[in-house]
C-alpha cells in the first residue's frame, strides 16, 4: 500500500528566511502525482504545488519549489523568503495514476517568526 511520511510535526522559520519541509512516500507505481497542500487556520485546503512523477524537472511556483528525488521517493518543499502568511499546516499528498484517492501525510505545522 502507498504511504506518505512527514517526519517533522513542527517547523519554525524566521521571516524572510528559507525553510524546507520533508516528505517521503512509498509506492510501487510508476505513474503518480505528488502535491503539497497548505491548510491555514481557516482550514481551507490550498494547493501549493504539484509534481508529476514522469517529469524530471522540479516544480516551482513563485517562492515555493520542490526537490523531487524519484529514486529516493522523496518530495521536499522549499519555501523561500518566508512570509507571516505562510504560517499553516502543510500536507504532502500522493495519488497514483491508477486510483483516485489522495493519500496524505500527517502534516507539518509551520510557524513564521517576525
Partner 1 sequence: GAVVSQHPSRVICKSGTSVKIECRSLDFQATTMFWYRQFPKQSLMLMATSNEGSKATYEQGVEKDKFLINHASLTLSTLTVTSAHPEDSSFYICSASAGSYEQYFGPGTRLTVT
Question: What does the binding site for partner 1 look like in residue numbers (CB under 8 A)?
Answer: 33, 42-45, 50, 91, 95, 97, 100-102, 104-107, 109
> Residue for cell digits 518566508?
82
- The C-alpha atoms of residue 101 and residue 86 are separated, in whole angstroms, by 27
- The C-alpha atoms of residue 8 and residue 19 are separated, in whole angstroms, by 12
Please state the closest distance from residue 25 (CB atom) to partner 1, in A. Answer: 14
Nearer to partner 1 (CB atom), residue 80 or residue 89: 89
CB 40 within 8 Å of CB 98: no
Nearer to partner 1 (CB atom), residue 80 or residue 102: 102
Please state the closest distance from residue 87 (CB atom) to partner 1, in A. Answer: 15
Nearer to partner 1 (CB atom), residue 17 or residue 61: 61
SS (H, E, C) 50-102: EEECCCCCCCEECCEEEEEECCCCEEEEEECCCCHHHCEEEEEEEEECCCCCC
Please state the closest distance from residue 110 (CB atom) to partner 1, in A. Answer: 14
Please state the closest distance from residue 57 (CB atom) to partner 1, in A. Answer: 18
Amino acid at each position: 500500500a502507498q504511504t506518505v511520511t512527514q517526519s517533522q510535526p513542527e517547523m519554525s522559520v524566521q521571516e524572510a528566511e528559507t525553510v524546507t519541509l520533508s516528505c517521503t512516500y512509498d509506492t510501487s507505481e510508476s505513474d503518480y502525482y505528488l502535491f503539497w497542500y497548505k491548510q491555514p487556520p481557516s482550514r481551507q485546503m490550498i494547493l501549493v504545488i504539484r509534481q508529476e512523477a514522469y517529469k524530471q524537472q522540479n516544480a516551482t511556483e513563485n517562492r515555493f519549489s520542490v526537490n523531487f528525488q524519484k529514486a529516493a521517493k522523496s518530495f521536499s518543499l522549499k519555501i523561500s523568503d518566508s512570509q507571516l502568511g505562510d504560517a499553516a499546516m502543510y500536507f504532502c499528498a500522493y495519488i497514483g495514476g491508477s486510483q483516485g484517492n489522495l493519500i496524505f501525510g500527517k502534516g507539518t505545522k509551520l510557524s513564521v517568526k517576525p
